[in-house]
Structure 1
């Protein structure tokens, strides 16, 4: 049950990360701000949106990596006994 919950959270983080990356402006978008087309009157201020989006993207990326590691740990079968059999030990010789 916990695997499915972590998987759902992982998928939501993945879609959120994709959406945030697509919403961000590229480096070339700042050229228009030099000629008066900047967003100085925006909700986050002149540079606040970039900082906010960067922090939000970084925090979602950290959550994505944590859920990735958690899913890898949960998907690994827990072996209680140590198997040291080789492939040759499994071959049946008639």
Structure 2
């Protein structure tokens, strides 16, 4: 159950990261601000949007890494449990009773 919850959170974090990265401006976009593109009139101020988006991206990235590590941990534990079930040493030997029956007696009708 926890594996599925972490997987859903992981996918949501990945989608959030993609969206935030696409929203952000590249380093080359600062040249337009030098010619008066109105960056000071934005909602978050002159540098507020950049620092807010960068911090939010960093938080989502840390969450993405944590969920990645936890998913890898759960997957390795699940695999080792199934590997021990499939091990030759842990399998019990099943004796076939039909092969041990005495075939010298023939039932009469």
Alignment RMSD = 1.5
Find the aligned partners of 1:75 and 1:10 in 2 and give their Cα distance.
14
**1:46 to partner: Cα distance:** 0.3
Structure 1: gaps spanning 5 or more residues: 84-94
Find the aligned partners of 1:77 and 1:15 in 2 and give their Cα distance.
27
* Aligned position for 1:37: 37
* Aligned position for 1:66: 66
TM-score normalised by structure 1 residue count: 0.81
TM-score normalised by structure 2 residue count: 0.70
Structure 2: gaps spanning 5 or more residues: 85-109
Bigger radius of gyration: 2
Higher relative contact order (CA 8 A, sep 6+): 1
Find the aligned partners of 1:36 and 1:57 in 2 and give their Cα distance.
27
